[in-house]
Amino acid sequence: MLELGALTLSWLQALLLPLTRVTAFFLAAPVFSQAAATGRIRIVYAGALCVVMMPALSDSISNPGRPFGEMTLLLLLSEILIGVTMGLILQFVAAAV
């Protein structure tokens, strides 16, 4: 049973950063209109995309002793910033076209 918990924690760690970036991108991008897709639907789309990308992702982002430390928080903030920036750039390109 303990091995299952360690495996689940490792899987969540590997999925955390890509899920954060893709979710921030979907929330900021004009791919889905506000009327067609609510915030929940965008988060579900981001989660499904990250699960599909899971075989290409790394195994872990930090040491197993401290899985969610302050360094992970800084990484999460940087991933949010990158995702929102990519979404805003896509909005600017769509508005220019």
Gap between the Cα atoms of 19 and 47, Å rounded: 6
- Residue 36: count other Cβ atoms within 10 Å of its Cβ: 8
Q: Look at 12-26, 29-43, 71-85 and tell me which has the smallest mean pLDDT.
A: 29-43
Three-class SS of residue 14?
helix
- Looking at residue 68, what is its pLDDT? 59
Tell whether the model's pLDDT for residue 30 goes beyond 70.
yes
Six-digit token pair at 55? 């075989």
Q: Where are the alpha helices (DSSP H) in the chain?
A: 2-28, 39-53, 70-96
Six-digit token pair at 76? 């999460």
Gap between the Cα atoms of 94 and 15, Å rounded: 29
The pTM (predicted TM-score) of the whole model is 0.73
